[in-house]
Structure 1
């Protein structure tokens, strides 16, 4: 069933499916954060249209690539650092708090799920987190303020780890970088036990993350897709809602 324009009908059907679920899982992508002022990656004006991604092996091998990666990070940070959780984030946090969700799997790196009140033990970050940095060699954690202070003091030169001289990178998964085994295992476990899998704001084209909704459907879970644009998985979903995420989830956030 596809809803386009009938917002109240879509909200009612979503509520019915949630009421009939014992272990619902949410799967979020960039679309849940666009109303917070964070652009997505693929739409016109999205982040990938402005900067070609720096592959992981290039970042590791070349100091100049690390300098450029951090320059981009701090340029974006000025624009997005003040972003606050939107209605979609608040809705999921509220559903979790009421025991209506078993967990949240996200492709996002913006930290807005945590800021909305989603606890770490209920959140799986498949692509890492962009709100802090780590050393790729020894795993030491560094806050962004620490990196920026040294980056600026050195005239735009990325700092290395003081403990081991390894490269310091945001705690995100870059192109060509191995997916985090622990988080993939957690996502797989949640997917396998879910009876309702709710995709929110994902184009479902980035694999292996995009494989989880299909796996849930194959295991017998009902599948809901809330996204402004069509996805390749719409035809196998039980409910498709093409509308603004915040508008659809506002009642579940307590906003009416």
Structure 2
């Protein structure tokens, strides 16, 4: 008899394939001056939808996944199926995240975040759909006075925690205080290299520190099945968030991908939709992207410097 596979197994395998996807060169490199002029004309001609990824936050000290020094070279993110169905894996995540959260919480928006927020405030772009979960775009929006409705955090925000048992939400700062009370002296005893912190907020720990960690339960139902309110590999983007992002995309005149390889379909889909609608596509990254064959303008450079140069010429 053929063994029956649980749907979670299929989801886990699909997630692993997504994590392992290698984005290689698929289009000729473009002259930087040609690319920058094309992107400037695209910004002046209409209001692009901006899709951002980890490359926007690297100047804030948060590493990316797939760049030359990306964390995928040393660390595989946990899939949703592992987090949901493996209590030991979930406990290990929270031990590691309790330590790594210090670094994430201290990060501040950099020049790229501020330029993009100002573009939203000025109506230069239709809005921003970010694949990042660090909350830095939201901080930059608040500082610039940009409309929060023009920012969609497609994959959620590490600053919120959800109970998988009852659905109750909790602010991460509140959870962190409860974890600190349950683990006195833990942070002082663990020494971690800040450069080893991963984009999902955790950091590698010896198993003895994982074993010594005490997890707390949901404030409403007591379950320890708590999860950062972010979309893991192998998990779907919530429909309301996806619909809000699509609404922004529909009113935009073009698409500009910034600091992202678009390896994940949830972000790449906006490029495919733009292509079908006959809209221009532009890219600003340090490395290759899945959008390169579909993009009219491809500027291979550092994100913050590129945005500053474009902003000065607008």
TM, length-normalised to structure 2: 0.73
Change in 2 beyond 3 A, CA 1:48/1:152: farther
Counterpart selection for 1:216 from 263, 266, 274: 274
Deviation at 1:74, TM superposition (A): 2.7
Query: 2: CA distance between counterparts of 1:145 and 1:236?
Result: 41
2:302 alignment counterpart = 244
1:14 alignment counterpart = 39
Query: 2: CA distance between counterparts of 1:13 and 1:53?
Result: 36
Change in 2 beyond 3 A, CA 1:158/1:29: same
Query: 2: CA distance between counterparts of 1:119 and 1:134?
Result: 26
Q: 8 Å contact 1:200–1:226 — kept in the other structure?
A: yes
Counterpart selection for 2:216 from 148, 159, 162: 159
Deviation at 1:79, TM superposition (A): 2.5
1:43 aligns with 2:67: yes
Deviates further, 229-238 or 216-225: 229-238
Query: 2: CA distance between counterparts of 1:65 and 1:187?
Result: 32
Higher helix share: 2
Change in 2 beyond 3 A, CA 1:255/1:215: closer
Matches for 1:177-256 after TM superposition, within 5 Å: 177-251=235-309
Q: 8 Å contact 2:98–2:179 — kept in the other structure?
A: no
Matches for 1:19-168 after TM superposition, within 5 Å: 19-21=44-46, 23-117=47-141, 118-155=146-183, 156-166=213-223, 167-168=225-226
Query: 2: CA distance between counterparts of 1:16 and 1:129?
Result: 33
Query: 2: CA distance between counterparts of 1:157 and 1:204?
Result: 37
Change in 2 beyond 3 A, CA 1:158/1:119: farther
Q: 8 Å contact 1:226–1:241 — kept in the other structure?
A: yes
Provide the alpha-carbon RMSD of the alignment: 2.3
Deviation at 1:48, TM superposition (A): 3.0
Query: 1: CA distance between counterparts of 2:31 and 2:137?
Result: 26
- What do the CA deviations read for 1:221-255 (whole angstroms, capped 9, x no partner)? 11101111122321221111000000001145669
Deviation at 1:135, TM superposition (A): 1.7
Unpaired segments ≥5 residues, structure 1: none
Query: 1: CA distance between counterparts of 2:293 and 2:78?
Result: 34
Q: 8 Å contact 1:88–1:253 — kept in the other structure?
A: no
Which protein shows a greater Rg?
A: 2
Query: 1: CA distance between counterparts of 2:91 and 2:310?
Result: 43
Q: 8 Å contact 2:126–2:251 — kept in the other structure?
A: no
Query: 2: CA distance between counterparts of 1:153 and 1:127?
Result: 29
- What do the CA deviations read for 1:111-153 (whole angstroms, capped 9, x no partner)? 0111111543111111111122122233322122322233344
Change in 2 beyond 3 A, CA 1:185/1:162: same
Q: 8 Å contact 2:49–2:252 — kept in the other structure?
A: yes
Aligned residues: 253
